[in-house]
Amino acid sequence: MPPLRDRIVELRRVPASLIDGAPWNWRTHPGEQRAVVQASIEELGIIDALKVRAMPDGRYQLFDGHLRSDLYVTISPDTLVPVLVTDLDEAEAKKANAIFDPSAAMAEADAAKLDALLKEIETDSAAIESMLAELAQDNGLAEEVVPGAGGDEFDATPEATGPTRTAVGELWLIGGKHRLLVGDNTIAENVERLMGGKRVGLCFTSPPYGQQRDYGEAAKEKVQDWHALMLGTFANLPMTDDGQVLVNLGLIHRDGEWIPYWDGWIEWMRSQGWRRFGWYVWDQGSGLPGIFGGRCAPSHEFIFHFNKATTTAEKWQPTKSEGHKIHGGRMGANGWETDYHISRVNVIGPEKIPDSTWRVQRAPDARIEHSAKFPVGLPTYALETWPSDVYDPYMGSWTTGLAAHRLGLTSYGCELEPKFADVCLRRAEAEGLTVEKIG
């Protein structure tokens, strides 16, 4: 066998702005992957060199490492990045580009070693936790998460058949009544245009929480200052006087602690007259597989409930003891009296007010084209409890809209990222609804 050729000329450190992606690179990078790689860079720093060719104009052309290069530029174009400069010609670089990832994917897992490794890894990144959980599940180290409660069919997004058809500033009518604005919910004129003078009795939404997901290019800058984003959003609520505002947020961990990042926003809500009316737990089912840095496996998030006036919650949850009698005693000096002749007797009815623990199975990740999705059963829980037309300032993949439609209610929503607005339209069309641009 002839001696192996060493094609690496030199290890250099060059500004990220001097590195160009190859025009023939075939890889694309979904939001979940971007979030994981960004989190790994933030937690570990730069630990690998990009593979490049030196070009005659003094720049460098990648053939491996396009996503990391893009993230380095996003962080700072002046970031000094290690590159392995090779003497490959263009044809050889194309071959390497085609081989690297598929050959790595052919590797198989030693389940025992992987299980031991996952038990030792600690991370504060939700994106990395989710990826490691999927890795454990894919290799038979954890139970598969399957659909459960909530009445959710876990609709998949139909595949896109062409370019994104939405653009910032457009207003869409869905199914003849639902309205979707592709735009910024922190601008009062945008919300007024969306609503067309309408006010609603319910806001149900799940805003971005910190830098936990990739929400698209259009939303990238808005998400950087979470507090300012929330104040801008909730300053423009199109609510009736007795409107109920329900906001889904999850935990963020940094440096081994959970962070009460919502405190400033909650106090601001109170200063605007919104009462901290309720605080509920979303029980997502069994804990995610993984190691989670020594914490218990995450299986819950929160629902914050604000209002300025009380609206009675509907009784819709079935009771388990319909027809049973409850004998209500009275508290006396020596404890509960048991003289049922002077005590009232209640009979349990068929339905009750929902619990403060919302038991709705989380949605599988792979089937809806959004990086931060929740199941249809979650907004359904809110809509059945406080029935009303609904506003969602972060419409995402039209989950709140779908829940409202199935209950015969009308939804109004904003979505800043055009590619996600397009997902909303495709999901509505899959439900059999027409979509029409009206502005």
Are residue 58 and residue 187 in the same domain, yes or no? no
Domain count, the chain: 2
Are residue 96 and residue 14 in the same domain, yes or no? yes
Residue 252, domain member (yes or no): yes
CA distance 47 to 202: 48
Q: HSE-up of 423 (CA within 13 Å, CB side)?
A: 23
Residue 131, domain member (yes or no): no
Are residue 274 and residue 188 in the same domain, yes or no? yes
Are residue 288 and residue 379 in the same domain, yes or no? yes
DSSP 8-state secondary structure symbol assigned to residue 175: T
Residue 143, domain member (yes or no): no
Q: Is the pLDDT of residue 283 over 80?
A: yes
Residue 88, domain member (yes or no): yes
More confident residue, 181 or 35: 181
Are residue 91 and residue 184 in the same domain, yes or no? no
Apex CA 279: angle with CA 210 and CA 205, to 5°? Answer: 50
* Stretch 131-135: mean pLDDT: 77
DSSP secondary structure, 331-386, as one string: EETTEE---TTSS-EEE--SEEPPPSEEE-PPPPSTTSS-TT---THHHHHHHHHS
Residue 215, domain member (yes or no): yes
Are residue 365 and residue 233 in the same domain, yes or no? yes
CATH number at residue 247: 3.40.50.150
Residue 246, domain member (yes or no): yes
CATH number at residue 51: 3.90.1530.10
Are residue 410 and residue 272 in the same domain, yes or no? yes
CA distance readout (Å), 137 to 12, 30, 107, 115, 148: 39, 20, 17, 11, 18
Q: Is the pLDDT of residue 89 over 60?
A: yes
Last residue of a domain, one of 105, 122, 143: 105
Residue 22, domain member (yes or no): yes
Q: Is the pLDDT of residue 331 over 80?
A: no
Cα–Cα nearest to 299, from 312, 286, 315, 317: 286
What are 6-21's pLDDT values in tens digits?
Answer: 999 999 999 999 999 9
Are residue 77 and residue 190 in the same domain, yes or no? no
SS3 label, residue 279: strand
Are residue 369 and residue 272 in the same domain, yes or no? yes
Q: HSE-up of 195 (CA within 13 Å, CB side)?
A: 23
Q: What average pLDDT is seen over the chain? A: 83
Last residue of a domain, one of 87, 105, 123: 105
- What is the reported pLDDT for 428? 93
Are residue 285 and residue 200 in the same domain, yes or no? yes
CA distance 247 to 8: 53
What are 180-216's pLDDT values in tens digits?
Answer: 999 999 999 999 999 999 999 999 999 986 544 444 4
Last residue of a domain, one of 105, 122, 137: 105
Are residue 99 and residue 201 in the same domain, yes or no? no
- What is the reported pLDDT for 289? 66
Are residue 303 and residue 188 in the same domain, yes or no? yes
Residue 197, domain member (yes or no): yes
- What is the reported pLDDT for 147? 32
Segments forming the whole domain that contains residue 227:
171-314+353-437
